[in-house]
Amino acid sequence: MSTEAQATGAGEGGSQGQAQLHGGRLVAQRLKAHGVSHLFTLSGGHLFSIYDGCREEGIAIVDTRHEQSAAFAAEGWAKATRTPGVCALTAGPGVTNGMSALAGSLQNGSPVVALGGRAPALRWGQGSLQEIDHVPFVAPVTKSARTAGSTAEIPGLVDEALRLSLEPPSGPTFVDFPLDYVFMEAPPSDKPASLPDPEAWPAADDAAIARAAELLRSAERPAIMAGTGLYWGRGEHALVRLCEELRIPVMLNGLARGCVPADHPCFFSRARGQALKGADVALVIGVPMDFRLGFGGSFGEQTKIVVVGSAPPKNPHPREVAAELYGGIPAILDALREAAAGGPDRSGWLASLRETESERRAAEQAELDDDRAPLHPMRVYRELSGFLQRDTIVIGDGGDFVSYAGRVIDSYEPGCWMDPGPYGCLGSGPGYAIAAQLARPDSRVCLLMGDGAFGFAGLDFDTMVRLDLPVVAVMGNNGIWGLEKHPMEFLYGYSVAAELQPELRYDKLVEDLGGHGELVRSPDELRPALERAFESGKPALVNVLTDPSVAYPRKANLA
């Protein structure tokens, strides 16, 4: 116990018998009661009591090399399991280091609970180590931010944080615990209430269902655009039933990728633009009309939009919508399927989209077969595709290299694609990968990284080595910040702050950390290197030198 903890740890029932538990044990007891099995963290003295409690309760403590990775790992656990991911961040810089991950979790709707250390309440304002009030600056990037006012309050605050993280719209919550309160003792609380179940939430009201079903039933060219909210709402089975019975094409983004398998006859990716622009009715499920959908401009001017979500958005839609349905997503989709049955024949609409899909996939073949060295990113994904099983969890952490992956990597099961989401914070990948491999030990985890992204959290390969996690990372190493360098040169004729060391041996660093490393300079070296990496049974990095002149084609949809 630290000197400061010794000085503040006596009090509030500190020796009132065996019925009393210290505050850290109370935290751990409530986490365990709600099914939490892992706590992601970086060691900090303000958290010692919580660690002790987790050890006593059998909760695994996973220590990373940076608090940002701990918080991203908590989000990765949430994404892999659809249950709350929990991290513990020490006071002051520990909390501030985790804030980018919390902000990303908020925009992704990820149910994350962050437990913060805090300077002792009995000495507040006297200048304790790392003393700062976290709540005012954490509150804007979380659903709730609270501070324990006593040891006895701890169980209820943990229950509340877990419950709120799952209530629609799901997202991160934060509770911090003054050092003195987690070393003091209080009685344990009663068994907590069950956490919310998205599959049990009721559908929208009957009038809204009827209005939307009428639009959908009469549509000749309907389309479905579904996103991350569909995944959190556990709506994938209802979506498959709906698209199959009503013969509606489906496009997916975010965590919804894989909720309709890529080889399903109603799934489309390359024909998305044609489908959304040409739709007379678009069912938009769990996805905001943000920059990824052109702020609503991805749909045709005459398209009637029906919005489905677990809860109304905080901000108004950027364009008029014809109907809005909020509630349990499976219940809503099942009600729509039943009420909208009997519409027109849509086989011609689906056939026209399939023709476009096939043509655009065929047009990619030249890049997939490109024999240049350094490699074209598309050639990397051609070779990698042979190593990705249907349940492989693919994690993207990078700019242009991962943008190509988002275009060509197919997903077949829910929870098998993870990227930073609309907040776009690099460095999320290693934390996601650690949590995903722990959550699904029988599945392959493949981490796709840019060389720039590696600089944020590359040392967490040490964490993977310590935990014996066979994550295989594939790096596109072009020695530049590609998504910045090329557009800046287009705008100004020059670029600044966009260069990295060319051909840097990140694979050697991973080897020195205890993992498996490979360097690939030409296409013929790639498949054997991937085989050795996946067979190594170690955390591995395949460092592929990619052509810095290749620019990912994209529109400037930042504003």
**pLDDT-derived band of residue 371, with 50, 70 and 90 as boundaries?**
very high
Together in a domain, 246 and 122: no
pLDDT recorded at residue 16: 42
Residue 225, domain CATH: 3.40.50.1220
Together in a domain, 134 and 223: no
Strand 173-178 vs strand 185-186: parallel, antiparallel, or unpaired? unpaired
pLDDT at 199 over 90: no
Report the amino acid identity of residue 94: G
Q: Give every CB contact of residue 423 below 8 A, 6+ residues apart in sequence.
A: 100, 103, 104, 106, 107, 108
Convert the pLDDT of each residue in 70-79 to its tens digit: 999 999 999 9
Secondary structure of 447-503 in HEC code, one letter for each residue: EEEEHHHHHHHHHHHHHHHHCCCCCEEEEEECCECHHHHHHHHHHHCCCCCCECCCC
Convert the pLDDT of each residue in 461-513 to its tens digit: 999 999 999 999 999 999 999 999 999 999 999 999 999 999 999 999 999 99
Together in a domain, 333 and 386: no
pLDDT recorded at residue 555: 54
Residue 172 preceded by cis peptide, ω within 30: no
Measured CA to CA in angstroms, residue 146 lies from 7, 157, 230, 265 at distances of 25, 8, 29, 48
Round to whole Å and give the CA distance between 272 and 352. 12
User: Pick from 310, 342, 335: which is nearest to 211 by CA?
Assistant: 335
pLDDT recorded at residue 553: 86
- Domain boundary, last residue among 358, 380, 400: 358
Together in a domain, 142 and 205: no
Dig out the tokens for 172 from the structure. 């991160």
pLDDT at 235 over 70: yes
User: Pick from 402, 430, 529: which is nearest to 40 by CA?
Assistant: 430
8 A C-beta contact, residue 113 and residue 40 = no
Strand 185-186 vs strand 85-89: parallel, antiparallel, or unpaired? unpaired
pLDDT recorded at residue 556: 43
Q: Give every CB contact of residue 427 below 8 A, 6+ residues apart in sequence.
A: 68, 69, 72, 100, 397, 453, 456, 457
Round to whole Å and give the CA distance between 75 and 69. 10
Cβ neighbour number for residue 443 with a 10 Å cutoff: 18
Residue 178, domain CATH: 3.40.50.970
Convert the pLDDT of each residue in 394-413 to its tens digit: 999 999 999 999 999 999 99
By 3-state DSSP, what share of the chain in percent is helix, strand and coil, each rounded to 5?
45, 15, 40
pLDDT at 559 over 90: no
User: Cα 66 vs. chain centroid, distance in angstroms?
Assistant: 18
Q: Does residue 283 fall inside a structural domain?
A: yes
pLDDT at 198 over 90: no
Give the mean pLDDT of the chain.
94
Q: Does residue 122 fall inside a structural domain?
A: yes
